A and B are shown apart, each in its own frame.
Chain A
Amino acid sequence: MVGIVVVSHSRALASAAVALAEEMVPEDARPAIGIAAGLSETVFGTDAADIAETVQSVDSPDGVLILVDLGSALLSAEMALEFIGPDVADHVKISAAPLVEGLLAAVVSATAGSPLTEVAREAELGLLAKREHLGYEDAEPDVPMSTDELPDFTSGGVLHYTTTILNSHGLHARPAAALVAGLRGIDATVTVSNASTGKGPVPATSLTLIQTLGLRHGDELEVTIVGREAEDALDAIIHLAEAQFGEAPLGPNADAPTPTPPKPKPADPTRTGRQIVIGPAHHVSITPDISEYVPGSPEVELARLNAAIGQAGEILDELERAGGLGIYQVQSIMLADDITQAKLREAIASGVSAVDAVQERFTALAADLDAIPDAYLRARAEDHRGLRRVLLRILTGKETSTAFAAGIMIINELDPLTSGSLDPRLCQGVITTSGGSTGHGVILAQARGFAVLTGRPEAVDISEDTNIAFDPVTGELLIDPSPAQLDVLAAKQKERDADAVQAAQQAHDPALTLSGRQITVEANIASLEDAVLAMEKGAEGSGLVRTEVLFADWKTAPTAEEQAETYVAIGKALGGALITIRTWDPGGDKPLPFLPQDPEANPMLGERGIRAMRRNSEIFDEQLRAILLASRETPVRVMFPMVTGTLSVEWGRQRIAAQRRLVGGSIDQGIMIETPAAAIRAEDFLGMADFISFGTNDLTQYTMAMDRGNARVSSIGEGPLPAVWDLMTHAAQVFKGKPVAVCGDMASNPELVSRLVGIGVTELSVRPPLIGVVKQAVRRV
């Protein structure tokens, strides 16, 4: 790959230009980019010796392109080439391109694997899009992109494809870069034109030329492909177009979401996150060392901060693309938060270093959340600390590496970013010494198949390299286990492995009990990606679509049409099986940005679920209308959360009836049984609920008067709880003959499946990765 060197009078300018250009391409695909700018962080100037060294540091047989700003930058660059000698200088080019435009084009072109001449040409065409936009007469490219260079399409084997640009801002630099990058490495010549305006064709390898097509929202993009791998190129383009060239259709201004298939998962079916692990203990510190950080001027610190935020954003994007369950996307949004960024900049402007500003801000954000004993809010504190770690790591250039010798990692807490960096080839399992089981990082690690044991303070005292073993299902932790103990574990694991393999094989078969009763095993869905993953794992629909999580990033309430599109997409992703949409369930630990709530002294007992809808009936009606609209295209039912009495259910049914008069549609209506009141008086709801679904987590905490996020009391909720079982048994018996579902964590526990089926449960809605094992558990009942 061609290397790039930026020569500028100002280091801050060069760093910012590089950060801007790097945004265009994924981190792992970037060319080597060197900066030779400024005599120091603050003194303007260029230094030929520094440039020569920098060129050599990014040099490869593919060559190096040097971009310069003004005046002495050019003289110094030329001088540098004399210093480094003809061997290297022969494949180094100095570009006449304008720095920012040229750099951007060069980075994209180099990423696509273009040769030096092509990268240099792309850079020099960097001004073209601007000139064209401003209507310069000579803007039409001449020599560099004469039609002579376009392939001969008159011969056979030509593929054509036309698609409408759906991106709201058209095919601007970022999506155009996605197109260029998407075709990288495919042996085919692709040209694109704007069929709506007649502009083009231009080669699809050129970011600059693609931008000159002026493809706006609604324009027709026409693609012509020839070459050995033309069909691969066509596939790639169709995928890109469907994904709107990488512009995630999220947020209030985006178009309809499109399911993107998750990346292939490791094929090992025994890695379910439930496997017993044995290995040497390794304590891992994830606190970056900031002691050697040398702060610069406020301008420099700001540039560093901006660059670090940009880089962190890319890391998060990359992790999300690799299957982040939407969690990294939420982190991105937290990182991009206006107030957070404003406070960071304010601190830097007042003379605080970027490192200290990041340290203070994110520590404060985490501390605010830490003060609350709620597990879900504590999980967000971990998210903030994770962002702090990654920013400090980038700023100090110090790896707080989680790369370590093979074994079991003992770590303070598992934030999402640390979780994303776990290497399955090295890490057998993770033990957290603080931190609960509901954190985002833990969920992600489990989804990736890591065995995780959470909240084990005693693990702090385990000596490095001691052999340890743990069972993530039972929570059993053995330090220096005896051979006999290991034999027992191995036998247990063997059984579980065989089970997991069989579960994977039969994932798509129905789950029948030994007596032939079919139990529907569904998935809990919080994102479109969940639905795609669930389908892959054999889900038979969804017993819980968490709408408040699905739209958690929206600042304004999504319209009925916007919601309906997402619900339909989820239904379709699950192969058209029945999905259960829970109406907005805000409050407690799940605030909705578009549904602000007053602070409550005791939010778990406050305006949660359907209670919160009474004062927000417009938002509620809009959602009901969306569910009815969706029901026209895919099977859907609706369920009300946090029901305690019949009044709220009657009210909800009336609102549905009113919406149905407007838009038609027909849906079953059910309630969640997650309060003792609803369970005890289940018969009251018989006439008004077509089905019930147990929210076992809340039902447990409300029955046992036990905050499930408070580690000191949460052990009360472990094991079989007769009070909870009695309530469930009663409600299930009352609703005998109607669907009785469980969508809480109890359903995801294979050990409890037999008992749940025994009390009359007919549907189990579980975490997507566990569908296979739960089905397997049903088959043993």
Chain B
Amino acid sequence: MSLDTSSVVAWLTDFASVIHDNADLLTDLDREIGDGDHGSNMDRGMKAVAELESASFPTAADYLKKIGMTLVSTVGGASGPLYGTFFLRVGTAWGDAASAEDLGKALRAGLDGILARGKAEVGDKTMVDALTPALAAYDEHASEGIEAALNAAALACAAGRDATIPLVARKGRASYLGERSAGHQDPGATSVTFLIEAAARSLA
């Protein structure tokens, strides 16, 4: 089976509702070490995504790219270009996502986009710290099928997210805090974990 537009709609709808329910949490996390807008920014962006007419896109790839552009123009903070790039690249590499490998490649392209855009490395206390182990776990379990791979990715993503707590931020607004950023969970790693968890629930 291939992942069509309706699958992507399911994924993003799930993600949007989790973001909405957890907007305060994200904002609180961001307030500790950033500018306190991650929750409201993402919620605004995902609401705009939810308003897209999914049926008007000929392919899932087109829909994903439009999601990327929508996030770029509506999120406002650094997550705008980062999530925007993620979805633009995922869309470009989507193909028909017929296999676990195909989906893995598309997600990998998204992560590469984030790395290129944000120039963050593992250990900088960013979303990369969650997404990198998530995709490693995905690849490891890809042969077992999409469902198994995404479940493994979601667990690894959450672990990566939790591992950001002791880190000292080296990128983004949090880096201005230096040592004081240690002891707080990174909001970007938190929201990207919601994204992968939503994928595990809806794309499998």
**Residues of A at under 8 Å CB distance from B?**
9, 39, 43-50, 70-72, 75-76, 78-79
The answer to whether the Cβ of B193 comes within 8 Å of any Cβ in the partner chain is: no
Query: What chain A residues lie within 8 Å of B72 (beta carbons)?
Result: 47-49, 76, 79
B64-81 interface with A by 8 A CB criterion = 69, 72-81
Query: What chain A residues lie within 8 Å of B118 (beta carbons)?
Result: 75
Query: What chain A residues lie within 8 Å of B75 (beta carbons)?
Result: 45
Quick one: which of A47, A72, A75, A78 contacts B73, CB cutoff 8 A?
A47
Instruction: Give B72's nearest chain A residue, CB to CB.
Output: A48
B19-70 interface with A by 8 A CB criterion = 37, 41, 69
Query: What chain A residues lie within 8 Å of B172 (beta carbons)?
Result: 71
Quick one: which of B73, B76, B77, B85 contacts A49, CB cutoff 8 A?
B73
Find out whether the CB atom of B78 lies under 8 angstroms from the CB atom of A47. no
The answer to whether the Cβ of B173 comes within 8 Å of any Cβ in the partner chain is: yes
Given A47-B72, A48-B84, A49-B69: A72 and B117 interface contact (C-beta under 8 Å)? no
Pick 7 A–B contacts, CB within 8 A, sort by A: A45-B76, A48-B72, A48-B84, A71-B172, A72-B81, A78-B117, A79-B84
Instruction: Give A44's nearest chain B residue, CB to CB.
Output: B76
Instruction: Give A73's nearest chain B residue, CB to CB.
Output: B78
Complex Cα spacing A353 to B164, Å: 47
Find out whether the CB atom of A39 lies under 8 angstroms from the CB atom of B76. yes
Given A48-B84, A72-B81, A78-B117: A9 and B76 interface contact (C-beta under 8 Å)? yes
Query: What chain B residues lie within 8 Å of A47 (beta carbons)?
Result: 72-74, 76, 80
Complex Cα spacing A46 to B82, Å: 12
Point out which of B78, B82, B84, B173 has the most chain A C-beta atoms below 10 A from its C-beta: B78
Instruction: Give A72's nearest chain B residue, CB to CB.
Output: B78
Query: What chain A residues lie within 8 Å of B82 (beta carbons)?
Result: 75
Find out whether the CB atom of B117 lies under 8 angstroms from the CB atom of A39. no
Given A49-B72, A76-B72: A71 and B84 interface contact (C-beta under 8 Å)? no
Find out whether the CB atom of B80 lies under 8 angstroms from the CB atom of A46. yes
Q: State the majority secondary structure of interface residues on B.
A: helix
Find out whether the CB atom of A71 lies under 8 angstroms from the CB atom of B73. no
Instruction: Give A75's nearest chain B residue, CB to CB.
Output: B81
Complex Cα spacing A651 to B85, Å: 86
Complex Cα spacing A76 to B74, Å: 12
Query: What chain A residues lie within 8 Å of B78 (beta carbons)?
Result: 71-72, 75
Query: What chain B residues lie within 8 Å of A44 (beta carbons)?
Result: 37, 76-77
Find out whether the CB atom of A45 lies under 8 angstroms from the CB atom of B81. no
Give the shortest distance, in Å, between A401 (CB) and chain B (any CB): 35
Given A45-B41, A47-B72: A72 and B77 interface contact (C-beta under 8 Å)? yes
Instruction: Give A49's nearest chain B residue, CB to CB.
Output: B73
Given A75-B82, A79-B84: A48 and B37 interface contact (C-beta under 8 Å)? no
Known: A45-B77, A46-B76, A49-B72. 20 other contacts (CB 8 A): A9-B76, A39-B76, A44-B77, A45-B41, A45-B75, A46-B81, A47-B80, A48-B73, A48-B84, A49-B73, A50-B73, A71-B77, A71-B172, A72-B76, A72-B78, A75-B80, A76-B72, A78-B81, A79-B84, A79-B117
Give the shortest distance, in Å, between A113 (CB) and chain B (any CB): 33
Complex Cα spacing A575 to B93, Å: 82
Query: What chain A residues lie within 8 Å of B37 (beta carbons)?
Result: 44
Complex Cα spacing A39 to B84, Å: 15
Query: What chain B residues lie within 8 Å of A46 (beta carbons)?
Result: 76, 80-81
Instruction: Give B117's nearest chain A residue, CB to CB.
Output: A75
Give the shortest distance, in Å, between A12 (CB) and chain B (any CB): 15
Complex Cα spacing A70 to B76, Å: 12
Give the shortest distance, in Å, between B187 (CB) and chain A (any CB): 13
Complex Cα spacing A317 to B72, Å: 42
Query: What chain A residues lie within 8 Å of B74 (beta carbons)?
Result: 39, 47
Complex Cα spacing A48 to B69, Å: 9
Instruction: Give A45's nearest chain B residue, CB to CB.
Output: B76
Point out which of A47, A70, A75 has the most chain B C-beta atoms below 10 A from its C-beta: A75
Residues 134-166 of B, flagged 1 when their CB comes within 8 A of A and 0 if not, give 000000000000000000000000000000000
Given A39-B74, A39-B76, A79-B72: A48 and B173 interface contact (C-beta under 8 Å)? no
Complex Cα spacing A49 to B81, Å: 10
Instruction: Give B76's nearest chain A residue, CB to CB.
Output: A45
Residues 67-111 of B, flagged 1 when their CB comes within 8 A of A and 0 if not, give 001001111111111101100000000000000000000000000
Find out whether the CB atom of B81 lies under 8 angstroms from the CB atom of A79. yes
Point out which of B72, B84, B85, B172 has the most chain A C-beta atoms below 10 A from its C-beta: B72
What are the 4 A-B residue pairs with the smallest beta carbon separation, nearest first?
A45-B76, A72-B78, A75-B81, A79-B81
Complex Cα spacing A471 to B62, Å: 72
Residues 167-204 of B, flagged 1 when their CB comes within 8 A of A and 0 if not, give 00000110000000000000000000000000000000
Instruction: Give B172's nearest chain A residue, CB to CB.
Output: A71
Find out whether the CB atom of B41 lies under 8 angstroms from the CB atom of A76. no
Find out whether the CB atom of B173 lies under 8 angstroms from the CB atom of A70. yes
Complex Cα spacing A70 to B172, Å: 9
Give the shortest distance, in Å, between B52 (CB) and chain A (any CB): 15
Complex Cα spacing A79 to B84, Å: 9
Instruction: Give B116's nearest chain A residue, CB to CB.
Output: A78
Find out whether the CB atom of A43 lies under 8 angstroms from the CB atom of B73. no
Query: What chain A residues lie within 8 Å of B69 (beta carbons)?
Result: 49
Give the shortest distance, in Å, between A298 (CB) and chain B (any CB): 21
Give the shortest distance, in Å, between B73 (CB) and chain A (any CB): 5
Find out whether the CB atom of B80 lies under 8 angstroms from the CB atom of A45. yes
Query: What chain B residues lie within 8 Å of A49 (beta carbons)?
Result: 69, 72-73
Query: What chain B residues lie within 8 Å of A75 (beta carbons)?
Result: 78, 80-82, 117-118
Quick one: which of B76, B84, B117 contacts A43, CB cutoff 8 A?
B76
Give the shortest distance, in Å, between A652 (CB) and chain B (any CB): 71
Give the shortest distance, in Å, between B24 (CB) and chain A (any CB): 18
B118-146 interface with A by 8 A CB criterion = 118
Complex Cα spacing A48 to B83, Å: 12
Query: What chain A residues lie within 8 Å of B76 (beta carbons)?
Result: 9, 39, 43-47, 72
Given A75-B118, A78-B117, A79-B117: A48 and B77 interface contact (C-beta under 8 Å)? no
Instruction: Give B75's nearest chain A residue, CB to CB.
Output: A45
Give the shortest distance, in Å, between B75 (CB) and chain A (any CB): 7
Complex Cα spacing A75 to B119, Å: 10
Query: What chain B residues lie within 8 Å of A50 (beta carbons)?
Result: 73
Complex Cα spacing A71 to B69, Å: 19
Complex Cα spacing A163 to B131, Å: 64
Give the shortest distance, in Å, between B78 (CB) and chain A (any CB): 4
Complex Cα spacing A46 to B71, Å: 11
Find out whether the CB atom of A76 lies under 8 angstroms from the CB atom of B173. no
Instruction: Give A71's nearest chain B residue, CB to CB.
Output: B78
Complex Cα spacing A78 to B173, Å: 18
Query: What chain A residues lie within 8 Å of B117 (beta carbons)?
Result: 75, 78-79
Give the shortest distance, in Å, between B49 (CB) and chain A (any CB): 15
Complex Cα spacing A76 to B73, Å: 9
Query: What chain B residues lie within 8 Å of A45 (beta carbons)?
Result: 41, 75-77, 80
Instruction: Give A79's nearest chain B residue, CB to CB.
Output: B81
Give the shortest distance, in Å, between B134 (CB) and chain A (any CB): 21
Complex Cα spacing A44 to B172, Å: 16
Complex Cα spacing A79 to B118, Å: 10
Complex Cα spacing A621 to B118, Å: 73
Instruction: Give B78's nearest chain A residue, CB to CB.
Output: A72
Give the shortest distance, in Å, between A76 (CB) and chain B (any CB): 5
Complex Cα spacing A407 to B117, Å: 59
Complex Cα spacing A404 to B124, Å: 63
Point out which of B80, B82, B85, B173 has the most chain A C-beta atoms below 10 A from its C-beta: B80
Complex Cα spacing A44 to B36, Å: 12
Instruction: Give B80's nearest chain A residue, CB to CB.
Output: A72
Find out whether the CB atom of B41 lies under 8 angstroms from the CB atom of A48. no
Query: What chain B residues lie within 8 Å of A72 (beta carbons)?
Result: 76-81
Complex Cα spacing A748 to B78, Å: 70
Complex Cα spacing A79 to B88, Å: 11
Give the shortest distance, in Å, between A210 (CB) and chain B (any CB): 33
Complex Cα spacing A79 to B82, Å: 9
Query: What chain B residues lie within 8 Å of A43 (beta carbons)?
Result: 76
Instruction: Give A39's nearest chain B residue, CB to CB.
Output: B76
Query: What chain A residues lie within 8 Å of B41 (beta carbons)?
Result: 45
Give the shortest distance, in Å, between B132 (CB) and chain A (any CB): 19
